[in-house]
Structure 1
Amino acid sequence: MNTTFAPTGLEDLAGRLRVSPGAPLPLSLRSSRQDWAARLAPGQPVAALPGLVASLFNLCGHAHRLCSSLAIDAAAHGLLSTPPAVDQRLRTETAQEHIRRMGLDWPRLLATDTPGPQAAQAHAALSCCPLLVAAASPTPWPATLAWLQEQLLHMPAATWLRAWQASGADWLLDWSCRHTGWLPALLCAARAVDTGTPLQPAAALRAHADVLDQRSLSAALALQPAFALCPQWHGASAHTGSWTRLNGMDVGLPLSPWALLGSRLAELIRLCQPDAPGLSGAGWLSFGALNTGPRQGLAWVEMARGLLVHQVEIDTPLGDAPARVLACRVLAPTDWNFHPQGVVAQHIADLSASEPVATVERRVRLLMAAFDPCVPFDVAHPLAAAQEVPHA
């Protein structure tokens, strides 16, 4: 069944999500996203590919540029300069993205009132974040951790993280209701519209866990048409995010959509702490690449929204001609989390027609804050007409 819909203008070239609360799968969540990388990359000079994919996925452009460069190096080592300090770049860009989404998106999506007072408070906090200022220090992490404790947590970060690891959502609720800052207030208000339905740990995406899984994913990308826009892992949909990292899976906690916000905050704390392999700082996020065939490479990085995968195939140039791209396939976190049979679609399908439209919309906005699509969304209300009948 076709679960796409046509974009309405040039501003929708990146695609949109159409949310239909209460509609059955796969109609509850439809997408107009296009596989632009697969269509535009072939024939391009290899040197231009990282910049091309960064522009196509501009909201996560840094992660896409990095992943593309790693895939090219795996396909043909030495063809381009190897990206330096990958772990530190990934750490910085992921932390910056978490901070922006918390400060820019969460006040818009989670506030009870529109606009709420938290938006101005969040904007003021972001304007003084050491990691976001243009003249950031080469070592901004101690100052950013201090900013995090003062502006967001209102307590020591290490204490917050230990409590999260021990109690998960129970700690998040206790913390958010006891503090009066803009972030606790947003989270406390949003708790009222949480569905309470936890994620299934078995559906956590770990396609990057070992070489065999990576090769299996590479084969699926190369051989299954349209796999990148509607992926499955082991025959089922999967979810990915800060809760599915190789170095530590928060998915072991009972994570409802609201609790996922706590997982994102916990990861920001880990990224701001000093480097420790597998635990924090530049040692927290995982990345990798491997050669999967003649002049074919696969790369993956754990970025803010989840697992990002790039696969490239490169031609063998004649003479002095530049190497060119034969194929480029991109598998983004949005493609997993917003699959038409996936976790978000299921939550949307389960929304009740007996609830007021305003409550349903708040539940949808919570889902969007928790799973964070890289494209806009709009809500079509098949429930609204049914609610209006008794008042006719």
Structure 2
Amino acid sequence: MTPGLDLAGRLLLCPGPCAAPIRSTRPQGLQRVALGQRAEQLPTLMAALHALCAHAHRLAARLAVRAARGEPGTPTTAERLALQAGTARDQLLRLAHDWPRLLPGAEPFAPALAEALRSCPLWRPGTAPAAALATLPDWLAQHWLGQSPARWLAAWADDPLAWPARWAQRQHTPLARLLAAQQAATQALATPPRPWQPLAAAEGAAAAVGAALAGWPAAGGPAAAGASAEAGASGAVDAAGADPGAEALPDTGPWSRHHDRLAPAAHNAWMRLVSRLVDLLQLASPAGAPHAPGGADWLAAGAASPAPGEGLAWVETARGLLAYRVALAADDGSPAGPRLQALQVLAPTDWNFHPQGVLARALQAQAAGDAPAATRLAVAFDPCVAFTVAAAALPAHPHEAQHA
């Protein structure tokens, strides 16, 4: 491994009327290390390659391999609980760690949020996911909401556009004060929603997810380094720049949950921030909640086999919908099982930080060099890698942006 090599990479954002609003230095093809490995090793390997949302990558890989082997693609109860707890932890870290660190002007709220997080049951050593989730509502009420999650969600269901702002202005918890301080600036950042919701497609989830994976390179997406055995796994944003005349690609996030019947359109950065809090509270809710499926039923996950030896899987993560496609080599008779022949991964960041996406359009609508606006937009869309706001317009050629 080359000393100093940044295996994660970072995103480069350019606010203002520049031709390349988003660039990425993420190395491509890291996931090709899985090709030729035993399929049963894929979940562990993918979790290791993705420090963020590792639990979701593990589950998606496991479901895809199961489907490819002709096994049921429905997550078990234990897998659903792990997904629920892992996603709740991810959202908590966004709100308590990333927001104070990244949002302009939010730093004064960091100590109180960090202190509260230390007592969260989701990080209590030796606590099973079910037990931690059972005590999460009381912790949220005491440390973040000033009321029960059920009461908060009931008020939100009655008035989803106005309630979060009213709550933030009236409460004095660290999270409420942080959101109140960000309200005006984030409401001014328009993000016309175009949610990617293949699970609601008339032709079925498997067909819609499969079509997105198959058409991603041709649709102007990243040069999918990994759509086949020769290429490896899906790459990140690397297109040369945005085409102002092209229609924006869809986005995905907690504002577009398959089971959420009440979510208002995420038409600005404020609504996208709020959706992460709503997501956390839904994950902390018991099953059978009045307004939407709660707890382990909140997140969609499944798999299907479009052809023998192939598996598709989809899992809703903290950042949006994650999709996997695997193909297995012919069984060589080994007791360890078949090897992986092809792998493709389509992650939420691929959609949300694409140069033809909603965020790219929102960045182009800002004043040139407006770093606070670009930062708030990036935090609202929540990439899985670090980002930097460019001080000047990014160059036309992607390789010239490596040191912007």
Amino acid at match of 1:108: R
* Bigger Cα displacement from structure 2, 312-321 vs 234-243: 234-243
User: Are 1:274 and 2:286 counterparts?
Assistant: yes
Paired with 1:223 and 1:192, the residues of 2 have a C-alpha distance of 39
Which residue of structure 2 lines up, in the alignment, with residue 375 of structure 1? Answer: 385
Contact 2:31-2:49 within 8 A present in 1 as well = no
Q: 2:255 aligns with which of 243, 254, 263?
A: 243
Pick closer, same or farther for the CA change 1:79–1:34 going to 2, 3 Å: farther
Question: Alpha-carbon deviation of 1:49?
Answer: 1.1
User: Are 1:69 and 2:62 counterparts?
Assistant: yes
Question: Alpha-carbon deviation of 1:212?
Answer: 3.7
Which residue of structure 1 lines up, in the alignment, with residue 320 of structure 2? Answer: 306
Paired with 1:208 and 1:254, the residues of 2 have a C-alpha distance of 19
Q: Does the residue aligned with 1:293 lie in a helix, a strand or coil? A: coil
Paired with 1:224 and 1:261, the residues of 2 have a C-alpha distance of 27
User: Are 1:133 and 2:148 counterparts?
Assistant: no
Amino acid at match of 2:145: L
Pick closer, same or farther for the CA change 1:192–1:218 going to 2, 3 Å: same
Which residue of structure 2 lines up, in the alignment, with residue 88 of structure 1? Answer: 81
Pick closer, same or farther for the CA change 1:259–1:327 going to 2, 3 Å: same
Paired with 1:165 and 1:9, the residues of 2 have a C-alpha distance of 52
Contact 1:258-1:366 within 8 A present in 2 as well = no
Question: Alpha-carbon deviation of 1:172?
Answer: 1.6
Q: Does the residue aligned with 2:123 lie in a helix, a strand or coil? A: coil
Contact 1:247-1:284 within 8 A present in 2 as well = yes
Q: 1:325 aligns with which of 337, 340, 360?
A: 340
CA RMSD in angstroms comes to: 2.8
Question: Alpha-carbon deviation of 1:213?
Answer: 4.9
Question: Alpha-carbon deviation of 1:50?
Answer: 1.1
Which residue of structure 2 lines up, in the alignment, with residue 110 of structure 1? Answer: 103
Pick closer, same or farther for the CA change 1:223–1:310 going to 2, 3 Å: same
Which residue of structure 1 lines up, in the alignment, with residue 398 of structure 2? Answer: none
Which residue of structure 2 lines up, in the alignment, with residue 153 of structure 1? Answer: 145
Question: Alpha-carbon deviation of 1:236?
Answer: 5.0
Count residues in correspondence: 366
Q: Does the residue aligned with 2:169 lie in a helix, a strand or coil? A: helix
Q: Does the residue aligned with 2:152 lie in a helix, a strand or coil? A: helix
Amino acid at match of 1:218: G
Q: Does the residue aligned with 1:191 lie in a helix, a strand or coil? A: helix
Q: 1:19 aligns with which of 7, 13, 16?
A: 13
Paired with 1:145 and 1:213, the residues of 2 have a C-alpha distance of 32
Contact 1:204-1:251 within 8 A present in 2 as well = no
Structure 1 alignment gaps of length 5 or more: 1-7, 384-392
State, as a whole percentage, how many aligned pairs show the same letter. 37
Paired with 2:136 and 2:208, the residues of 1 have a C-alpha distance of 39
Question: Alpha-carbon deviation of 1:17?
Answer: 0.4
Pick closer, same or farther for the CA change 1:69–1:378 going to 2, 3 Å: same
Paired with 2:199 and 2:26, the residues of 1 have a C-alpha distance of 24
Amino acid at match of 2:116: A
Paired with 2:89 and 2:386, the residues of 1 have a C-alpha distance of 20
Any residues of structure 2 matched to 1:1-12 within 5 Å, and which?
A: 10-12=4-6
Which residue of structure 2 lines up, in the alignment, with residue 340 of structure 1? Answer: 355
Q: Does the residue aligned with 1:292 lie in a helix, a strand or coil? A: coil
Pick closer, same or farther for the CA change 1:287–1:160 going to 2, 3 Å: same
Paired with 1:15 and 1:183, the residues of 2 have a C-alpha distance of 30
Question: Alpha-carbon deviation of 1:78?
Answer: 5.2
Which residue of structure 2 lines up, in the alignment, with residue 207 of structure 1? Answer: 198
Greater helix proportion: 1
Any residues of structure 2 matched to 1:23-38 within 5 Å, and which?
A: 23-25=17-19, 27-36=20-29, 38=31
